[in-house]
């Protein structure tokens, strides 16, 4: 298995386009189209928010009824098409119909995604323009596609990985958008992953669900779960490589996990107003689920995020967040270390700042120097079991307030 690279050269059988349809005022790409030359098996994971956008409802229905012949995914920005009632569903279907007509396929083969302001209807004249332009300019410019799904993102986020097998080579590639409203529960987060490998539907869905749990569900920017969160995985088999045996599926899963984690971490790095990338390693909790819950609680805490921003090694906020995570946690059994960097060796996890229910005899200057780094790793050893999970989060800055204070303006 190769390593993930932050670019996409090509994926056999897929063509793409990112265009300006007039949705954004600044002329930036605002509509994207991903098309397969042949039918794809498709899987998806979606927001668990009870308020689901029209495109989410439509895609969930289409993947339930027609998961083996998907041909295209279209994405618009500016309007989330959420909380838009019957008109929103009508417009979501109309968007798919426009794509289907342009590509000479049927509407049921088209999935749609939307991102932007909740409660706004799709400007269908501009959606039509986006379909017209993108369908006429299909090619291999994946960076333009990633740019065409951005809202408050500052840069396109994309990646790919190549897997070599005895039967040949296949590629897994993906794009993602998201900078705020990020606390996925399967955040505003949309992602499309494609592969030219051949997989059966149950294997594809199982692989995506597992990868999402280890990646998209392990990131926190601000603690909010979007109405539109969607991750799609399409497989068209154009490489001629079949992924079916246990060993083949394990290799595919490892590659998919690596790509999904890369894309998820890119969301955190590009979070709204982010100045620090923070890794939370929760170890020796009672279970993996407990470790994840503790990490998510710490990662979403405004107090801890404020301390990260201020380069303050405020262990009290971290321990307090762990204690309110509604999981077994004993501060007298726990210890907390902090280290500079994103990858910290298990045998050298950094400066211990809390242990046995109280602070250690560390020097504040040493802790402050670590906290001043752009990437920081905390290791919380719960001391009560064997469960472990890693969460990727960030600080919260004044800029986050500025961005979200006038998001609709």
Express each pLDDT in 143-195 by its tens digit. Answer: 999 999 998 889 999 999 999 999 999 999 999 997 655 555 554 589 999 99
Instruction: Evaluate whether residue 75 is within a structural domain.
Output: yes
What does the pLDDT look like over 72-100, one tens digit per residue? 999 999 999 999 999 999 999 999 999 99
CATH for 69:
3.60.70.12
List alpha helices for 54-164, DSSP H. 54-65, 85-103, 124-136, 142-147
**β 70-76/110-114 pair status:** parallel
- Which residues of the chain carry a pLDDT beneath 70? 179-188, 222-224, 344-348, 400-409
Same domain membership, residue 227 and residue 136: yes
Residue 155 and residue 256 in one domain: yes
Residue environment code for 350-376, b if the CB has 16+ CB neighbours within 10 A, otherwise e: bbbbbbeeeeeebeeeebeebbebeeb
Domain end residue (candidates: 269, 285, 300): 269
Q: Which two tokens mark 381?
A: 């050893």
Both 225 and 168 in one domain: the answer is yes
356-to-94, 231, 279 alpha-carbon distances in Å:
61, 41, 22
Last residue of a domain, one of 220, 240, 269: 269
Q: Are residues 94 and 207 in the same domain?
A: yes
Nearest one of 250, 203, 259 to 43, comparing CA atoms: 203
pTM for this one?
Answer: 0.92
Domain containing residue 286: 277-405
The CATH code of the domain that includes 281 is 3.10.20.340
User: Has residue 349 been placed in a domain?
Assistant: yes
Beta bridge partners of 233: 43, 193
Question: Do 265 and 282 share a structural domain?
Answer: no
Residues 5-42: tens digit of each pLDDT: 999 999 999 999 999 999 999 999 999 999 999 999 99
Position 129 scores a pLDDT of 98
Residues 6+ apart with CB under 8 A from 154: 179, 270
Rounded to whole angstroms, how far apart are CA atoms 285 and 334?
Answer: 9
Are both 289 and 222 inside the same structural domain? no
Residues 146-185 as b or e (16 or more Cβ within 10 Å = b): bbbbbbbbeebbbbbbbbebeeeebbbbbbbbbbbbbbbe
User: Does 342 share its domain with 392?
Assistant: yes
Express as a percent the part of the chain with pLDDT over 90. Answer: 84
Instruction: Indicate the residue among 231, 250, 269 that finishes a domain.
Output: 269
In a domain, 222, yes or no: yes
Q: Which residues, in sequence order, are CB contacts of 240 under 8 Å at separation 6+?
A: 167, 168, 198
Q: Is the distance from CB of 260 to CB of 387 less than 8 angstroms?
A: no
What pLDDT is attached to residue 272? 73
- Is 1 contained in some domain? no
Catalytic residues: 188
Total tally of structural domains belonging to the chain: 2
Residue 330 lies in a domain: yes
- Note whether 250 and 148 are same-domain residues: yes
Chain Cα centroid distance, residue 323: 27
Taking residue 298's Cβ as centre, other Cβ atoms within 10 Å add up to 27
Residues 307 and 339 in one domain: yes
Calculated CA dihedral for residues 61, 246, 390, 348, nearest 10 degrees: -170
Q: Does some domain include residue 346?
A: yes
The reply to whether 54 falls in a domain is yes
> Are 182 and 288 in the same domain?
no
CA distance 63 to 99: 17
Same domain flag for 160 and 67: yes
Whether residues 292 and 263 share a domain: the answer is: no
Distance CA 184, CA 220 (A): 7
User: Does residue 60 lie in a domain region?
Assistant: yes
């Amino acid at each position: 298995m190769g390593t993930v690279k932050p670019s996409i050269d090509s994926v056999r059988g897929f063509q793409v386009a990112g265009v300006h349809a007039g949705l954004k005022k600044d002329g930036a790409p605002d509509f994207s189209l991903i098309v397969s030359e042949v039918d794809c098996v498709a899987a998806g994971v979606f927001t668990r928010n009870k308020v689901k956008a029209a495109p989410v409802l439509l895609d969930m229905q289409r993947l339930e009824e027609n998961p083996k012949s998907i041909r295209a995914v279209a994405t618009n920005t500016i309007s989330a098409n959420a909380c838009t009632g019957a008109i929103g569903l009508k417009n979501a279907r109309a968007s798919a119909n426009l794509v289907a007509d342009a590509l000479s396929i049927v509407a049921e083969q088209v999935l749609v995604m939307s991102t932007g302001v909740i409660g706004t209807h799709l400007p269908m004249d501009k959606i039509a323009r986006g379909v017209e332009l993108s369908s006429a300019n299909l090619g291999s410019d994946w960076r333009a596609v990633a740019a065409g799904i951005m809202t408050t993102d500052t840069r396109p986020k994309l990646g790919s990985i190549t897997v070599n097998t005895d039967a040949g080579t296949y590629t897994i590639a993906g794009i993602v958008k998201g900078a705020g409203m990020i606390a996925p529960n399967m955040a505003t987060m949309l992602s499309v992953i494609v592969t030219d490998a051949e997989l059966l539907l149950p294997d594809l869905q199982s692989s995506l669900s597992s990868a999402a749990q280890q990646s998209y569900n392990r990131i926190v920017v601000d603690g909010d779960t979007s109405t539109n969160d969607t991750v799609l995985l399409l497989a068209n088999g154009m490489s001629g490589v079949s992924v079916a045996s246990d060993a083949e599926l394990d290799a595919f899963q490892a590659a998919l996990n690596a790509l999904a984690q890369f894309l998820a971490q890119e969301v955190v790095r590009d979070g709204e107003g982010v100045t620090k990338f923070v890794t939370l390693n929760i170890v020796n909790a009672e279970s993996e689920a407990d470790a994840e819950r503790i990490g998510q609680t710490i990662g979403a805490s405004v107090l801890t995020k404020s301390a990260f921003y201020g380069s303050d090694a405020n262990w009290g906020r971290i321990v307090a967040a762990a204690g309110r995570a509604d999981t077994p946690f004993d501060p007298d059994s726990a210890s907390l270390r902090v280290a500079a960097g994103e990858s910290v060796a298990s045998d050298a996890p950094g400066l211990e700042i809390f242990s046995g229910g109280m602070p250690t005899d560390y020097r504040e200057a040493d802790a402050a120097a670590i906290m001043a780094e752009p990437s920081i790793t905390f290791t919380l050893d719960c001391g009560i079991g064997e469960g472990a999970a890693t969460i990727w989060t960030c600080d919260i800055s004044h800029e986050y307030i500025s961005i979200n204070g006038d998001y609709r303006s």
